Amino acid sequence: MFKLRDWVDSGWQSAKSGCFAAYDRVREFLIDLDAQTRPERGRARTRPAKTSKSRPDPNALPPRKTNVPADTRVYAVGDIHGRADLLKRLMELIHEDVANSEESRVVLIFLGDYVDRGFQSKDVIDYLLSDELARYETYYLKGNHEAAFETFLADSSFGPQWAKFGGAETLMSYGIQPPRAKTITSEWETVCAQLNHQIPVEHRAFLSSLSLYATLGDYVFVHAGLRPGLPLDQQAEKDILWIREEFLKDDGAFDRVVVHGHTPISDPHHDFRRIGIDTGAYLTGKLTAACLVGSEVKFITT
């Protein structure tokens, strides 16, 4: 009886530990989400629009008149983070939307962060490189997580830091078990060598080919945002991939409306200076695309 009790206690402790781990992960995401969307003290908060037809916030300036090129339909896709299932579902919705449209030019712009956090990072890149998107004009931008992926491929010592924000899941998507002891240098060296051996040549070429930004009409597309006060050609790569507060809380408009991801929000955001479409897909199940046609903006979400 004593051994049975020990076995039950051991199983309960293991299950409880797994539940706590899952709870901690959701809690960390919600804390990050709250931190990025909480207004500064004393300032009114601009509520993000759920759709382009939502009632406008009286505290927000109205969107300025912006356009994409004539006869062009643009879809900007937010942070995928290893959710190939959501990417495929979103693309089905986009295919349907295109089928009901009249524009002869259809452009897809992916805003980066294809890998990490979710467990299907390899599948995401496989899909982006497949013939599924061959019918469209496509642009692939670099996110901070792709930068981290490339850093680890070149430097195994970056492994423990990469693992903290989702690199372990990316390793598993390539069939590689992350080190159990996150700080043992030799184990990370082994894992780095395995990844360099197993990653397809096409994936490595994809990572190295990513652009920092794209421009179409009155819009500029980037991963994280832009530093206020600087023209586009003087923006630093670090800011384009990582910036948050300085960009999000500034009140000044850029020459173009900035379409970006990187900062998770519960619903897409649209105002006179920026459109934010990272809806935390890897945890929420909501992968979002902004559809731009003429001067109109609408959102498509899984």
Q: Are 293 and 101 in contact (CB under 8 A)?
A: yes
Q: Per the domain annotation, does 35 fall within a domain?
A: yes
Judgement on whether residues 103 and 239 belong to the same structural domain of the protein: yes
Query: What would the two tokens of residue 271 be?
Result: 């105002």
Judgement on whether residues 204 and 129 belong to the same structural domain of the protein: yes
Residue range of the domain that includes 28: 1-39
> What integer pLDDT is reported at residue 51 of this predicted model?
39
The CATH number of the domain where 173 resides is what? 3.60.21.10
Model confidence pLDDT, tens digit, residues 181-230 = 778 899 999 999 999 999 999 999 999 999 999 999 999 999 999 999 99
Query: What would the two tokens of residue 109 be?
Result: 């712009």
pLDDT, mean over the chain: 85
Judgement on whether residues 151 and 246 belong to the same structural domain of the protein: yes
Judgement on whether residues 76 and 222 belong to the same structural domain of the protein: yes
Give the whole-angstrom CA distance, residue 189 versus residue 195. Answer: 10
- Cα separation values, 8 from 5, 16, 216, 257, Å: 5, 12, 61, 59
Q: Per the domain annotation, does 54 fall within a domain?
A: no
Give the whole-angstrom CA distance, residue 124 versus residue 259. Answer: 21
Judgement on whether residues 119 and 188 belong to the same structural domain of the protein: yes
**pTM (whole model) above 0.85:** no
Judgement on whether residues 19 and 164 belong to the same structural domain of the protein: no
Model confidence pLDDT, tens digit, residues 145-190 = 999 999 999 999 999 999 999 999 999 999 999 998 778 899 999 9
Model confidence pLDDT, tens digit, residues 23-73 = 445 445 544 544 443 333 333 333 333 334 444 444 454 556 789 999 999
What confidence category does residue 262 fall into, taking pLDDT thresholds of 50, 70 and 90?
very high
Judgement on whether residues 122 and 263 belong to the same structural domain of the protein: yes
Give the whole-angstrom CA distance, residue 94 versus residue 105. Answer: 14
> What integer pLDDT is reported at residue 183 of this predicted model?
80
Judgement on whether residues 13 and 125 belong to the same structural domain of the protein: no
Q: Per the domain annotation, does 58 fall within a domain?
A: no
Judgement on whether residues 280 and 156 belong to the same structural domain of the protein: yes
HEC letters along 10-32: HHHHHHHHHHHHHHHHHHHHHHH
Judgement on whether residues 274 and 192 belong to the same structural domain of the protein: yes
Q: Per the domain annotation, does 56 fall within a domain?
A: no
> What integer pLDDT is reported at residue 184 of this predicted model?
87
Number of domains present in the structure of the chain: 2
Judgement on whether residues 26 and 99 belong to the same structural domain of the protein: no
Question: Which residue, 80, 73, 78, 76, is CA-closest to 99?
Answer: 73
Q: Per the domain annotation, does 143 fall within a domain?
A: yes
Q: Per the domain annotation, does 64 fall within a domain?
A: no
Q: Per the domain annotation, does 140 fall within a domain?
A: yes
Judgement on whether residues 117 and 228 belong to the same structural domain of the protein: yes
